[in-house]
Amino acid sequence: MKLSTVFLLISTFILASCVQDTTSRNDPRILAMGDSMMAAHRVSGRAISDNVARQLNEPVIDHSVLGASMSYALPISGAMGLNISKQFRGGEWDWVVLNGGGNDLWLGCGCNACDRKIEKLISEDGSTGKIPDLVSKMRESGAQVLWLGYLRSPGVGSPIEGCREEGDELEARIAKLAESDRGVHFLSNADLVPHGDRSYHGIDMIHPSLKASAEIGSRVSDYIRKVDQAR
């Protein structure tokens, strides 16, 4: 897929992913952040965060923005939150649920010769880089941090199929980061999409379908519930 087409897709959906709350209550304890995987379907109230809010029966604030990255703001002027680190604006949260890094690889290096890009995001041992720096900032606020892994392509008809190896390496490093701190959690979605099953992606075969957002929301809700009960 050409970059011009990518930017068109992002600009088409960017207004639908403006920052908004999933409920009107004033005492939320869960913050969602990230890119299009998190932001998809928010305009219809069926994003991952919306599903979490319904299943846990509590408010979730969602700062995610379609097209967001860890490294830079894409050339679509004026949209808040395109840099994922800027989506965290402090506050008292029990949980911050987020994803990120995929656009850095796909748009930043074309999922080709991305070693330097991955290293800037997170080192091999998970201790340094843009992702650990953001996680550290969130942990300093007292929040539990739940980092979500990406959907994998079904192996057919997806422009992100070529990013599989880079995605696996990025997430292996994030998993190491999670192992170093009991308050940091990594939830993989690598097993969610059966081979050849297109139903977990939208028509562009990049963004999650309603089905995928619902299932990821269920996974997040179950995880938060389990950890909260154990604390």
Of 22, 48, 159, the C-alpha closest to 102 is: 159
In the block, tokens 């004033």 appear at: 26
* Residue 24: predicted pLDDT: 39
Mean pLDDT, residues 165-188 taken together: 97
Range of the domain at 191: 32-230
Q: 7 in a domain, yes or no?
A: no
Inform me whether the pLDDT recorded for 12 exceeds 80. no
Rounded to 5°, the CA angle 171-173-179 comes to 105
Number of domains in the chain: 1
Residue 16 domain-assigned?
A: no
The answer to whether position 42 is within a domain reads yes
Longest dimension (CA), the chain: 48
- Whether the pLDDT of residue 99 is over 50: the answer is yes
Question: Does the pLDDT of residue 20 top 90, yes or no?
Answer: no
For 51-93, write each residue's pLDDT tens digit.
999 999 999 999 999 999 998 655 554 455 799 999 999 999 9
In a domain, 4, yes or no: no
Residue 201 lies in a domain: yes
DSSP H/E element including 147: strand 144-148
The strand pair at 144-148 and 184-187 is best described as: parallel
Residue 172 three-state SS: helix
End-to-end, the C-alpha distance of the chain in Å comes to 46
Give the whole-angstrom CA distance, residue 195 versus residue 7.
Answer: 28
Q: What is the edge-to-edge ordering of all strands in the sheet holding 30-33?
A: 20-21, 60-62, 30-33, 95-98, 144-148, 184-187
Q: What are phi and psi of 118, to 5 degrees?
A: -60, -40
Residue 19 lies in a domain: no
Residue 38 belongs to a domain = yes
The CATH number linked to 97 is: 3.40.50.1110
The average pLDDT across 37-64 equals 98
Q: Is residue 187 part of a domain?
A: yes
